[in-house]
A and B are shown apart, each in its own frame.
Chain A
């Protein structure tokens, strides 16, 4: 059975997330990022940032509200019981600081079948309140037995 590729090229509504010191600190703590620029405003300013700055992988936090509806969309039709997160890429631009409003737009890049598995590839583009790109993500989910 072939995978349904109708959703390729589909874009979902953008979602905006406001970064806060508390969420940045919580995320930095859980991955063990110890640089004081993630916790103390003075340290962040001294290092040339506008405010407390997020670790790069904080992108998963601000992208999540936009990615959820794309991944769960019945038009994409992934079988979640047989799905794994196969691979992930991020390419970073401007750093994200507390107070920034990050807007993420998801798009389905490709859907294909290989060795009996379905590959569902999504792209996310996140920009800050000044329109500068902060991250581009490529999210690949693999579904067994399509």
Chain B
């Protein structure tokens, strides 16, 4: 892949109960993610997605460059910014920043309704030949 090339876009709409399933899978039962009333009581618009779930989608989009091979993703760093909400589409995009043979570095973001949930993210992927 060449600098400036786009990775295939990943679009996912987490359903209403996705945060509950993610809580079970990950063990993170913080009520801001699974209890809309609690979330509103602490000033949030509703229960919000786990940031690490959205990071999981960013990892998936970038590992997708190597057919989803779990060995391909070597490094991923992200900044969590806006809040992600259930029942709204998440779009993960990425642009190749540099490449060294089969090793590429990708600038990647996850946004929802034009709001960046994950920004300044960088993925390092080992492409298969």
Contacts and interface: CB of A to CB of B under 8 A. Distances in A.
Contacts of B114: none
Contacts of A23: 25
Contact of A55 (B26, B53, B56, B78): B56
Contact of A56 (B27, B42, B67, B73): B73
Contacts of A29: 21, 25
A32 B60 contact: yes
A40 interface: no
Q: Majority SS of interface residues in chain A?
A: mixed
A31 B74 contact: no
B46 to A, nearest CB: 17
Interface of A: 23, 26-27, 29-35, 37-38, 47, 53-57, 60-61, 64, 81, 84-92, 95, 138
Contacts of B67: 35
Contact count band on B: 20 to 34
Given A57-B52, A60-B26, A61-B26, A87 B60 contact: no
Contact of A30 (B21, B63, B71, B76): B21
Interface of B: 12, 18, 21-22, 24-28, 42, 51-53, 55-57, 59-60, 63, 67-71, 73-80
Given A88-B80, A92-B74, A57 B56 contact: yes
A33 B52 contact: no
Contacts of A86: 79-80
Contact of A61 (B21, B25, B51): B25
